[in-house]
Chain A
């Protein structure tokens, strides 16, 4: 079932076209990775889908509903959760409170004036934290967590609204290698069990080739290739402009690991 349909998405910054006529689709439960060199327009594409940027032209439909150009909070209401390249959390709150904030918003209670916030949706928050392996850290301040754990909390926050689509902008950036594969495996599992579509950008080729169902290759704002990891690996043009020899080797390693 097709969840997300993006057609002809274009964004210019001054004279530079950061995204040119970008089109793709994403199915429920599918993991779609966008890769490309620095400045290829990954984050731009991403932020247009997430509502942080307004597209100049093009359409974005989620479950048949147009979400292009809506503010971030409306896109969230339509069923899109996201994580950021540099994790965005509420640093003055505990791990549990971060997730509770998302649940308060999800249940439309952010304007409640006299209820005790810490007691609201606590069990649900702890359940979500258990899902990302952060249940034991629920009472710690999010500001004292290791970065990998912050990313897990962010994932729990993004999942709190039971999104249909999850956007993850470089989910493993800044993490140790072991944490990376753990987070991606977790994401893949959550996505497949709950039929959540996942769109992610990534620099780490292992994270891409071990977990993506399909891969888009973006260069200078344009999609130059799309297909399964095998097809992308075999595509000579991709090899040439993006992966290089080192990248191809990493892809092979990841493949062996995934098979083993």
Chain B
């Protein structure tokens, strides 16, 4: 058997780069040219199989590639130049690393002989990206280029997905070599374990069958492993409720009677109560971030915890695990289902049913939340927005802050890859370029970026990109004139000293018009639906400036470091 396919023609590194992308099935990339990667842009000039989207800032190229990856499930690809081009990309790379989405980021580098001499636009991008990407490569010889690109895509998309950086010096791109595409990768130090240990799987299943108050905690790993069906079946067969993390919105329909919705700092309090009081917690593909655990000592304190993760590092990192299972979520849950079906496990269906009823009792305790002023409430806006678009199977992206949490609470997702948000790194400025990439990845879908007036200003320049390619992203700017989430912490925890959180912005309608996009403003509730309708129908990039109440707070709220069940439901209404 031949392991390599050899083609005799000699190509430049730049041409090899494009050939490799073709082999990997890449058809759309996001990038920004610069001195050392001009060779690639020269090769792109006559390339008919790759569409390049010219962004307005390299950070946005990476976020766009991530948005693309999140909605399509394919790796996102970005191309930036050396030095500042590459350093601008760092936030995007770190963001994808935290949230575990596959990217291959190509950076230009000064010529091999110039490296280390402080050449123009030189940066040690391998050193800089080392702690914030899954792996990185400096290509020193054009003969290694195709092998490295093959490995980069392999590493990015397997195991726990993540970004891989390939740094390509100028002379590597200009020198020639035969193009040899390796059919296999040889990485002896990289063997992700996909199948859980059968004994652990049986132990976990037994524990879940016997549990009286079990909860499934679904994390973003379920999206990566495409394990929605297995999750649904497990929940149904074993009669176990499911709570999801922010990253796992849509992996289990949030409208399902067994769904507890999102847990955590701003999650549903009944989900937090359920996790606090459960006797068995079945966590799948989650890192146990502090935003979902609250005080670690009190987290699921009486529970035996089963944890399935493909990344061994996630296990026992924050939370002590009783039954660890290293493997792919889909394979492990499939094994559990097969075992359950073939071995006549008995389950205490009624006991579990009364636990579900207990949780439903908790749900009822939610008091009505009043909106004290005559200004528009952000909650009303997002609720109305989602009610209007939900049947269109829209893609919702968010920036980071209050609007993000309201969107997470109010948009009840029924499918994965439809709620795109920066979870781990919490990157303001992520939503708009991610929406752009999502729209490129799913051209027939309505893409709405729910933004704040602070975070939209962090990558507002991408409006030019959207106009240039007519990418019809609708930005709904929840405009309260504050960095609202920080303001909220200041109100409660920093003596109402609103230090540097009142933030001004431009006239977003005029900004939109200046860029050649559509601008709208909403100040009254009855304007919401007609404006949205027009925005969706115009098929153009849109800014909708929604002027809302300044001081609205996100509730429920578990203050940082508090136990999950110590929830504030409004300013003076704790529930415990």
On whether the two chains bind one another, the answer is no
Which residues of chain A have a CB within 8 Å of any CB of chain B? none
